[in-house]
């Protein structure tokens, strides 16, 4: 299992690479080939495996979700209401309580 630092690093590296790819296509479509070449150079400077991103984000989500019960329990011990916890999770309080 990757560490959180590795997972966030992977996602951090993906964002500029992905934006460069989108910008390259946009500049090409607008006929701005010099700009497209600049974006292409940025994109090509990084080797990012696109399949690594869904794996990493899934691993991160599963890891964070696994600790959810503990954080909810701690919040309740500190006096948080079910309504406050539901708000924090963008869910109805009764749904959080049932979970």
Q: CA Rg, the chain, in Å?
A: 20
pLDDT digits (tens, 9 = 90+) for 54-85: 888 888 888 888 888 899 999 999 999 999 99
Question: pTM of this prediction?
Answer: 0.49
Mean pLDDT of the chain: 82
pLDDT > 70? residue 46 = no
For 13-56, give the secondary structure using H, E and C: HHHHHHHHHHHHHHHHHCCCHHHHHHHHHHHHHCCCCCCHHHHH
Q: How confident is the model at residue 91 (pLDDT cuts 50, 70, 90)?
A: very high
Among residues 89, 10, 12, 9, the alpha carbon closest in space to that of 52 is found at 10
Count other C-beta atoms under 10 Å from residue 95's C-beta. 11
pLDDT > 70? residue 51 = yes
CA dist 89 and 96 (Å) reads 8
């Amino acid at each position: 299992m990757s560490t959180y630092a590795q997972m966030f690093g992977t996602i951090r590296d993906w964002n500029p690479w992905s934006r460069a790819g989108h910008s390259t296509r946009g500049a090409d479509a607008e006929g701005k080939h010099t700009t497209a070449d600049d974006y292409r150079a940025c994109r090509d400077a990084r080797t990012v495996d696109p399949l690594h991103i869904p794996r990493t984000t899934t691993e991160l989500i599963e890891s964070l979700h696994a600790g959810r019960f503990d954080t909810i329990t701690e919040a309740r011990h500190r006096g948080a209401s079910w309504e406050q916890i539901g708000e924090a999770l963008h869910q109805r309080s009764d749904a959080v309580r049932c979970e």
